[in-house]
Chain A
Amino acid sequence: MLDVVNLSHTYGEGPNAHQALGGIDLKVAEGEMVCVVGPSGCGKSTLLRSIAGLIRPTEGQIRIRETTVADTPGDLAVVFQDYSRSLFPWMSVGDNVALPLRRRGKDRTARRAAAAEALEEVGLAAASSKFPWELSGGMQQRVAIARALAYRPSLLLMDEPFGSVDAQTREDLEDLVLKVREHHRMTVLLITHDIDESVYVGDRVVVLTRSPARVAGELSVDLPFPRDQIATRELPAFVHLRAEVGRLVRAKKESPPVQV
């Protein structure tokens, strides 16, 4: 489904150059939910922005369903961390959700219906005619998720989607994402710095090293579905996986990888 091959990116030139990505290989299978974890500032966002076609990587290749991602973004949707800046304050919630559907060649009524359905799914059916800034942070992020859902992308990218909300809302949103992903059999790539979260929502966790980011290792998460905030987190397997991911994140802090 998603195939990232030897992806490198360097910002700037000459002595001020900063290498953010140092050759990343990553595969995401159809219907899989992969979490990418790494220390802050390691280049996770650069990876996501490259996959979304927002920046052109200096080296390497990205293919979505065998099509190379070039300037034009692939058939994907993005949920950004900063919901207040990702939703457009001059449009109603419904219009925000419906906007990308224009690209799907749907007419006005079809767009409205799709938007209403998506909002219903995230539990915000009544908020359609409100403006984003009239909602709480968690609700705004639900709108952003609804927008991604309505678009029916073949790949959903999420960049620290729960990074700016309080702990309770965060758990609700994690469960919401698990639910809709299950329902639509969506392929998701979620970027986070939170180890617990990556294990809780992911089918697989990929750990990146400090910048320039490389893949430090990856783990399959064989936790049963449906997951539960209390029950899942107290499973020995969960505790074990969390420790494993933590070790991978930490290990590379002390011994940086050898330059190739």
Chain B
Amino acid sequence: MTTTVEGQTTRGMRAGLLAVLARVWLVPIAVAAWELGTRQAGSTYFPPPSQILARMYELWFSGPAAHLFLTDGALGDFLPSLARLFGGWALACVLGIGLGVALGRSRKLSGYIDPLVEFGRAIPPPTLIPLFIILFKMGTQMQVATIVYGVIWPILINTIDGARHVDRVHADTAQAFGLGRAQRLFRIILPAAGPKIFAGVRLSLSLAVILMVVSELVGSTNGIGYQLMFTQQNFDLSGMWGAIVLLGVLGFVLNASFLVVERRVLSWHRRARQTT
């Protein structure tokens, strides 16, 4: 008995291992090809990944343990970037969801505002950077304004859509039992629109990374985008590639952690759909 169970577990583990291998086998090959190719070519513009990693370590991750091994340079660039990113994104979430619920629940209001929303979201957000530079001067205010303006649209549009299409029986039930405004908002409308809102918020997060970089490339004295510009101007190509890799990792980690949160918060939605 026990032997067969053990046999099954090892077989199960082997199957799991194979499945993981089938997913990731190309990654080491790609990295190795990149390393070999760049070494062979010996181009200054394309440093080998080992060199990029070494430079990243040297620039950002060789700090004291008390600072989580981050160097002063890393703290000086990462923290402002992340603060702008999350600050702008959070502000856009609050504004977008608030306004979106109002517009989604009131036909009258949305009649007045919809065309403005349509036009507003058609304007490519970076176009407003020159205006924001004049209005807010260079610096954090301008960058946050750019991020807020740029990422609010997917949140707003999805919230309007979600809040507008709350199931009629849900709405009727809430009304028949005489739930108050606040309860209808927090217990019925927001959860019902939740899946749509989350989709918009996730889209806006990756957009926020792009706009953070653009706004830092154009007008900033610190941040990862500024670091990118600075390394290029000093012809520190390994450092520049390092900043690119860092941004890739940042985007990946943000998206992955957001998915984890989404799965937890919306587990009812996923599981309810599986059962019906």
Contacts and interface: CB of A to CB of B under 8 A. Distances in A.
A54 interface: yes
Interface in B224-258: none
Contacts of B9: none
A53 interface: yes
Contact of A102 (B173, B183, B192): B183
B194 A100 contact: no
B194 A78 contact: no
A88 B276 contact: no
Interface in A81-102: 82, 84-86, 88-91, 99-100, 102
Contacts of A90: 191-192, 194, 268-269
A88 B276 CA distance: 15
A76 B176 CA distance: 7
A73 interface: yes
A78 B269 contact: no
Contacts of A86: 169-170, 172-173
A89 B272 contact: yes
A100 B178 contact: yes
Interface residues of A, number: 28
A77 B177 contact: yes
B273 to A, nearest CB: 9
B271 interface: yes
Contacts of A131: 268, 271-272
Given A102-B183, A151-B177, A80 B169 contact: yes
Interface string A138-160: 00000000010001000001000
Interface in B164-202: 167-170, 172-173, 175-180, 183, 187-188, 191-192, 194
B43 interface: no
A134 B275 contact: yes
B172 A84 contact: no
A133 to B, nearest CB: 4
A4 interface: no
Interface residues of B, number: 24
B177 A99 contact: yes
Contact of A53 (B167, B173, B176, B269): B176
Nearest to A153: B177
A41 to B, nearest CB: 17
A7 interface: no
Given A86-B170, A131-B271, A134-B275, A102 B179 contact: yes
A147 B183 CA distance: 16
A103 B179 CA distance: 7
A52 interface: yes
Nearest to B194: A90
B169 A100 contact: no
Nearest to B171: A54
Contact of A54 (B175, B183, B194, B272): B175
B180 A103 contact: yes
A80 B174 CA distance: 12
Identify the 10 closest CB pairs spanning chains A and B, nearest first: A100-B177, A85-B169, A90-B191, A78-B176, A133-B272, A89-B272, A90-B268, A52-B176, A86-B173, A86-B169
12 contacts: A49-B172, A73-B175, A85-B169, A85-B170, A88-B173, A88-B191, A89-B269, A99-B177, A103-B177, A131-B272, A133-B268, A133-B276
Interface of A: 49, 52-54, 72-73, 76-78, 80, 82, 84-86, 88-91, 99-100, 102-103, 131, 133-134, 147, 151, 157
